A and B are shown apart, each in its own frame.
Chain A
Amino acid sequence: MRVLLVEPDKIQAGSIVEALRRDGHKVEHAVSAQQAVHIADEQIPDVVVLELQMPRHNGVEFLYEFRSYPEWLRVPVIVYSYVPPRELIQSATLSTELGVVSMLYKPETSLAALCAAVRKVPSVAIS
């Protein structure tokens, strides 16, 4: 599976990329929303793993922009963030309008659990 990881923290990104690659995925890493759009433009990812807290643009803005392109409409997004789940759940638009298939709270989610969530991404979205 082609995974686009949007993660501003380089130390964490290194660990996440390593874990996903060990799990058999091809991973591209973007440190910013702008870079993520550029990478997705080159090759559409099968799934996006996204940190909502980013410098300059935030992840929600990125999602709105990402969904504004018809070819990226069906790409599933996994939010893997420091934003507490309760705050995310209150924002119903994340799952309904913005196609977030899973919301994972970083402090409580191991890399193994993230890999499991990526493996569970609905195959219909990938096809």
Chain B
Amino acid sequence: MVQEGSGVTLNGQEQLFLSLAEQLSRPLVQIAQLAELGTADDLETARLRWHMVQSVSHASLQLVESYALSLRVQGKVTPLSLEPITVSSLLYDTAQVLQPLARHYGVTLELDPGPRAQPILADRTVLQSAMTSLGQVFVMSQAEADEQAPVRLCAHRNRYGVVAGMYGNAPQLGADSLRRAQALKGRAREPLQRLVSGPAAGVFVADSLLRTLATHLHVARYRSLTGLATTLQPSHQLQLV
């Protein structure tokens, strides 16, 4: 249990819901503003705004659905469905899903699947949802950075397995965002003087999904970029096949 300013007590679950609510209010405000402006537009501008509304609402639904999926899998309402997956194809599909949102935020996505890696055994829907939630966080955060850099979806091998993740140069990404996300359960609300925007809920959802696959998010570096990634274990049995 944590204490909030005037003595109101929030437990971990409530704190997480609050964070999700705060994160979801952003796209809803975006949609409301776009709709308000849309009443006096020419057809071309109206069409552009309609596409923005579509991708923003799609991203918000994805966050809600990913959170629901993590709870369903944790509660064994939805069983895991394991299948062989190549990480490069997973990253490619994630990039496809993220592309409309990235375009509206003016962020470039770059895909670097690395050298051909052994397949892994995982639930594709869960893993894809985790990477998409993470990717949305990176796209939105990268758009707020002073210096524009692409968001890179990368995979590389190290001695622990296949490291797959997202990288950028936004100051709020990396260790700080992961710490905020992991602290969502049992963290006091930030006092006013420390208000810095941070997409903790999205990172938390990605991490929750990965934990259902017995892995987790960790801070990672790729050349000069910081990021968040997960280490996946290649399946030696699949390699034999």
Contacts and interface: CB of A to CB of B under 8 A. Distances in A.
Closest 7 CB pairs of A and B: A15-B33, A8-B144, A53-B197, A58-B195, A55-B172, A56-B171, A55-B144
Interface string B22-61: 1001101110111011001000000000001000100000
A107 B25 contact: yes
Contacts of B193: 58, 60-61
B5 interface: yes
B179 to A, nearest CB: 15
Contacts, number: 91
A18 B30 CA distance: 13
B98 interface: no
For chain A, give the interface size range: 35 or more
A53 B196 contact: yes
Interface of A: 8-12, 15-16, 18-19, 22, 31-32, 34-35, 52-61, 82-83, 87-88, 90-91, 106-107, 110-112
27 contacts: A8-B143, A9-B144, A10-B144, A11-B30, A11-B52, A11-B56, A12-B29, A12-B30, A16-B33, A19-B36, A32-B146, A52-B195, A53-B195, A53-B197, A54-B144, A54-B197, A55-B141, A55-B171, A56-B172, A58-B194, A60-B192, A60-B195, A83-B195, A88-B192, A110-B32, A110-B36, A111-B36
Interface string B81-122: 000000000000000000000001110000000000000000
Nearest to A94: B192
Given A9-B144, A11-B105, A91 B192 contact: yes
B172 to A, nearest CB: 5
A11 B53 CA distance: 10
Contacts of A15: 30, 33-34, 36-37
Contacts of B210: none
B36 A11 contact: no
Contact of B146 (A11, A34, A53, A111): A34
Given A18-B37, A112-B36, A83 B192 contact: yes
Nearest to A107: B25
Nearest to B101: A11
A53 B34 CA distance: 21
B170 interface: yes
B145 A55 contact: yes
Nearest to B45: A18
Contacts of A110: 32, 36
Residue from B28, B146, B193 having most chain A Cβ neighbours under 10 A: B146
A107 B29 contact: yes
A56 B197 CA distance: 8
A44 B172 CA distance: 29
B144 A31 contact: yes
Contact of B170 (A11, A55, A57): A55
A106 B27 CA distance: 11
B30 A8 contact: no
